């Protein structure tokens, strides 16, 4: 691979990363909204936790913050349980 091909591959990878990063954030916001709506609709918290992989604490903080506008917990708080 020459320098020109490497630079082209790098640019392509960067564009793909940016595009998928935006899609991931949009999906995360949709999941937050769906999780809050599910709890409000009566789905058991344990089921929402099981489905999302989030902790109960994260879900509680998400509900408290509303979750719809990003005012809830950060993405780092949503790390799956081990």
Sequence ranges of the domains in the chain = 3-78
Please tell me the predicted confidence (pLDDT) of residue 74: 52
Distance CA 4, CA 61 (A): 48
Please tell me the predicted confidence (pLDDT) of residue 79: 54
8 A C-beta contact, residue 70 and residue 29: yes
Please tell me the predicted confidence (pLDDT) of residue 42: 96
Across the chain, which has 82 residues, the per-10-residue mean pLDDT values are: 95 94 94 95 96 95 69 51 48
Please tell me the predicted confidence (pLDDT) of residue 70: 46
Please tell me the predicted confidence (pLDDT) of residue 65: 84
Q: pTM for the whole thing? A: 0.65
Alpha-helical regions (H) of the chain: 3-40, 45-52, 56-65
CA geometry: angle 36, 38, 39, nearest 5 deg: 65
Please tell me the predicted confidence (pLDDT) of residue 73: 53
Which among 80, 22, 72 is positioned nearest to 49, based on CA atoms? 80
């Amino acid at each position: 691979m020459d320098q020109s091909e490497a630079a082209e591959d790098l640019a392509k990878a960067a564009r793909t990363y940016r595009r998928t990063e935006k899609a991931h954030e949009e999906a995360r916001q949709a999941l937050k909204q769906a999780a809050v709506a599910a709890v409000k609709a009566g789905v058991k918290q344990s089921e929402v936790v099981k489905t999302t992989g989030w902790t109960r604490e994260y879900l509680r903080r998400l509900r408290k913050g509303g979750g719809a506008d990003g005012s809830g917990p950060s993405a780092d708080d949503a790390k799956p349980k081990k």
